[in-house]
Amino acid sequence: MIRKFVLTATALLALAGSAIAATPNQERPKLKAQATVTGEFVRIGDLVEHAGIIAKVPIFRAPDLGSTGSVSADAVVEAVRAHALVGLDTGDLSEVVVTRASRTIPARDVEERIAQALSTQYALGPVKDIVVSFDRELRALQLEASAKGEPRVGSLTYDARSGRFDATLDIPTSATTRGTLRLSGRAAATVEVLTLARAIERGEVLKGADVLVERRPRAEIGRDIVTNADLAVGQAVRTSLQAGRVLRAADLMRPAIIQRNETVTLLYEVPGITLTVRGKATEGGAEGDVISVLNEQSKRTVQGVVAGPGRVIISTGLPRLAANLPPNRNTSNADAH
C-alpha cells in the first residue's frame, strides 16, 4: 500500500549554485513519475531528470527500508526552488511514487538459523524436528540493498527444562557495517506422531481419514508411539479413544473377523480327513487368535484358531469328536462280537 511519507527538508546545502533553467543547450528539468532510492535520503536527482550539478543534494527523508511512499509534485517544486532549480516541468503529475530499495531476509531464514544453532550447540536433533517460536512476531528483515553477507547467530543460551532461548543475530547493515538483533522465545525438539481426528469406539477399524500427522514435543512422547499411518489404518482399537489422542502401538489390534455369539463352522482336521460342525463363538477374535467356541452338537466348549471369516480350526484331536459322530458299521459289528 502506498502511503504518504514525512517530508523533511534538509539543512544541507552541499552545493551553492545559480539558478538552473533550460537553455538552448540543456534539456529542461522534468519531474519523474516514480523513483527507487537507496539510503536514508531522497535526492533531487532521484525525483528530477536533468537536475544537473545539484542532482545529489538531499531534500527529503526516504521511506522505511522496503517501503513505498509518495511525495506531491508541489512539494518537490517547493523543495528544489530552495536549491536554485527553476522551470521544473511537472507535466500532468500530481505526485511521485518513491520506493526505498532493500534486501529482504525472510523470517523463515532467521528461524532456521536459530534452529541450526540449537541443533549444533545443544544437540536437539535434526533441524527439521526443531520448532522455534519467538516472544514477539518475527517479520522479514529489511536490509540496505548494499548490505553484504548473511545473518549469523552470535551468542545463544538455552534452558532445556523450560525450552526458553536467548540469542543475538549479527546482521549486515550496509556494505561495510554490521548490527545486532536480539531474539528470545521457546524451542523444542519434536517428533511426528499420529493423532485421532475423531473419537473412536472400541473395536472400530481405523480409516485414513481417522488419523492425522502432527508434531508434538519429543519430551512428552513415549517410545510406544505410532508414526506411520500405514501401520494404523486397517487396525482396530482395543479401547474407546478420544479425538486428539496420540496413537500408540498398544492401542491397536488386528480387527476381529469373528464376533461374539456369531455362528461359525468348526473344522476338525487330521491327516486325510476334515470334519465340519456348526458352532457358536463365545468370544470374538482376529485371524490367528485362539477363541472359545461352543460345539452345538456336543454342547461342549472347545478352543480353536480363527482361520478366516466364520471359520475356526479346532486344536484338539479327532478322538474328542468321535462320540459325536454316527457309529461306523464295521465298528458296531466289532463291538457286537
pLDDT of residue 19: 43
Q: Which three cell numbers stand for residue 96?
A: 511521485
Mean pLDDT of the chain: 84
- CB of 44 within 8 A of CB of 51? yes
What count of residues does the chain have? Answer: 337
List the domains of the chain with CATH numbers. Answer: 3-100 (2.60.480), 105-189 (no CATH), 191-253 (3.90.1210.10), 263-322 (2.30.30.760)
223-282 pLDDT tens trace: 888 888 998 999 999 899 999 999 999 999 888 888 889 999 988 887 778 888 999 999
Relative to beta strand 263-270, strand 311-314 is parallel
pLDDT of residue 325: 42
List, in sequence order, every residue forming a beta bridge with 290; answer none if it has no partner. Answer: 305
Cα-based distances in Å from 247 to 206, 214, 223, 243, 251: 11, 11, 11, 10, 7
333 pLDDT more than 70: no
Residue found by looking up cell 545463544 in the block: 156
CA-CA distance, 35 to 33, in Å (whole number)?
A: 7
First-to-last alpha carbon distance for the chain, in angstroms, is 113
Return the minimum-mean-pLDDT range out of 11-25, 74-88, 293-307.
Answer: 11-25
Amino acid at 290: V
pLDDT of residue 7: 42
pLDDT of residue 22: 46
Cα-based distances in Å from 237 to 62, 209, 248, 289: 64, 15, 10, 16
CA-CA distance, 134 to 139, in Å (whole number)?
A: 11
Three-state secondary structure string covering 130-160: EEEEECCCCCCEEEECCCCCCCEEEEEEECC
